């Protein structure tokens, strides 16, 4: 990630003829954006891996076939519901419950206060609950 930031800085300097007025803030902004992109991509990958993991767990649990099918179906319903949420809610659910970051760590990643993370988490869970409820009758 560090190498990418320096490469982007170098490419910017090579392409532009004007000087960067504040070099440190410029590099800091590039680094911050790289970190945000990294965590967003990681959260999306975690969601896909989480679905695969949940299906594997459902298969490994010593239960009857109908129970395994029900567990896999529940996971699929939750994943569909996650896709209906707005990006902010989906991201905070993935960071808190899939990646298992603390409120403090999530606040740092999202550059929000801990109170804002708690509030957004609560709202995201409520939105997810409502989305799952709306999807269940169609199943």
Q: pLDDT digits over 97-133, tens only?
A: 877 888 988 888 788 899 999 999 999 999 999 988 8
Q: What sign results for the dihedral spanned by CA atoms 24, 27, 29, 32?
A: negative
Asked if residue 138 has pLDDT above 80, the reply is no
User: And the tokens for 72?
Assistant: 């896999």
What is the reported pLDDT for 139? Answer: 45
* Contact (Cβ atoms closer than 8 angstroms) between residue 123 and residue 68: no
CATH architecture of 2-138: Orthogonal Bundle (1.10)
Return d(Cα 109, Cα 119) in angstroms, integer. 16
For range 10-20, the mean pLDDT: 80
Q: What is the pLDDT of residue 119?
A: 96
The Cα–Cα gap between 125 and 136 comes to 16
């Amino acid at each position: 990630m560090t190498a990418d930031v320096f490469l982007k800085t170098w490419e910017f300097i090579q392409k532009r003829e004007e000087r960067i007025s504040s070099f440190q803030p410029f590099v800091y902004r590039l680094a911050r954006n790289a970190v945000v992109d990294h965590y967003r991509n990681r959260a999306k990958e975690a969601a896909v891996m989480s679905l695969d993991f949940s299906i594997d767990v459902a298969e490994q649990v010593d239960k009857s076939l109908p129970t395994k099918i029900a567990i896999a179906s529940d996971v699929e319903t939750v994943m569909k519901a996650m896709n209906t949420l707005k990006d902010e809610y989906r991201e905070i659910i993935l960071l808190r419950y899939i990646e298992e970051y603390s409120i403090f760590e999530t606040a740092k990643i999202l550059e929000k206060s801990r109170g804002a993370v708690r509030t957004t988490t609560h709202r995201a869970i409520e939105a997810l609950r409502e989305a799952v409820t709306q999807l269940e009758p169609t199943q």
